[in-house]
Amino acid sequence: MHEDFFKAWGVNIAEKMHIYYDESNNCRKFWLDKMKQNFNTFWYKDFVLAGVAVENEIDISLDEIISRFSLQKNIKELKAKKIYKGKDFLGCLNSNAMADLLDLIDDYGLYIHYKNVNNFFYTIVEILDSITTPSEIIEFGFDYFRLKAVLYNVLSENIKNVIKIMIKYSYPNIKNDDINDFCTDLLSVFKKRTEQNVEEKFLAGMLKRAASSKSLLFIQNNKDFVTQDNYAEFYFESIIKFPQSFHHFDEELSIQNELENYLKVNQCELIKYEFLKSEKCTLIQISDLVAGLFGKMFAFINITPRKNFKIIIGEMTDFQLKNAVRFDDIRVRSNNKNKGFLHSMTSIFLLENLEDFFLKTKCEAKKRKLI
């Protein structure tokens, strides 16, 4: 079943590589804090499991890492938090550390990979699946994935009110007696019907219908306020996607036992993997920098309107543009190597924004004759 799914997705599951992982924005659990009237972490920061991959196992010494990144000689390991020093994505693009990282990736012929999970998107798609079905969506002439993205836009643009509504009804555990009020309150964040596009009208209609229903299948009978109990499932998918590769994870005690049990249940015990302390493996440390960059990249995309790209890119330095182009070139090269290396669980509109940002950076770089 797994093989058929990944092959349909265009993944070469026969890939034999050494794949290294680290995380960014790993909050362990995504939940609604009733006291703070907010999520427990920034809603726009994606969970990212990412790193580097190489066909033949290599060794990069800590001494070389120290030299390449101009670090103090007594440093024990490379960490994104120290290297990027609180910079956002645009700040990273303007840093020597990012250029050093890109040099290292190119010099060793490394590929990069990531799986990002937009926590808020992953939270609210359960609403869509509770008020309609894929077959009904197709019957009405809509695209399932676009409707997910439209719902994400509607709710994220009204994030403060949506969070209040979710907390009010103990989302994602809506009680039967609250179904009508929950749907009605959620409808209140939509624009006036005369201002809605056809997809928004469909969603509003489905919510209005659901208000009089007896159940909301996927947002009932769950834990109050807990929208993502843990991130173990994303480790599972990453490892079974490439069953013939060797997977090297940063030590994560909360995941290790769950992963071992999952592989036994699914008869995948022969998959090779290990959990290592990052200070013992420089390629995991490099993966930490890669994961950190992707975490910052997706945060930037999640909160930056597409209409602002032209101004932002026009104000970028030549150095930022060169780094952005190189970063995207490595991303594209990795995707061409294997379609399974880049995987996003987010709005398709945000993915379109991401591609548009890099396209515009390349156009600006060509305009300035930087490439």
Both tokens of 91, joined, read 């700040």
Q: Which residue has the higher pLDDT, 260 or 160?
A: 160
Best CA proximity match to 48, nearest among 285, 332, 345, 334: 345
Whether residue 312 is predicted with pLDDT greater than 90 in this model: the reply is yes
- Exposed/middle/buried for 12, CB within 10 Å: 0-12, 13-18, 19+? middle
Mean pLDDT within 127-149: 97
Residues with Cβ < 8 Å from 136, sequence gap 6 or more? Answer: none
Report the percentage of the chain scoring pLDDT > 90.
87
Give the model confidence (pLDDT) of 251-304 as tens digits.
988 888 899 888 888 878 889 999 999 999 999 999 999 999 999 999 999 999
Q: What is the pLDDT of residue 4?
A: 78
Give the model confidence (pLDDT) of 44-55 as tens digits.
999 999 999 999
Q: First CA to last CA across the chain, in angstroms? A: 44
Q: What is the pLDDT of residue 3?
A: 74
Report which secondary-structure segment, H or E, holds 117. Answer: strand 111-117
Mean pLDDT within 65-72: 94
Considering the chain, what is the average pLDDT of its residues? 95
Give the model confidence (pLDDT) of 213-226 as tens digits.
999 999 999 999 99
Report the percentage of the chain scoring pLDDT > 70.
99
Q: How far, in Å, CA of 368 to CA of 371, rounded? A: 8
State residue 190 phi and psi, 5-degree precision: -75, 155
Residue with tokens 């305009």: 367
Best CA proximity match to 110, nearest among 358, 324, 320, 286: 286
87 contacts 95 by C-beta, under 8 angstroms:
yes
Per-residue pLDDT band for 2 (boundaries 50, 70, 90) equals: low
Per-residue pLDDT band for 1 (boundaries 50, 70, 90) equals: low
Give the model confidence (pLDDT) of 93-131 as tens digits.
999 999 999 999 999 999 999 999 999 999 999 999 999
Query: Reduced to 3 states, what is the DSSP secondary structure of residue 356?
Result: helix
Q: Could you tell me the pTM of the whole model?
A: 0.95
Report which secondary-structure segment, H or E, holds 339. Answer: none
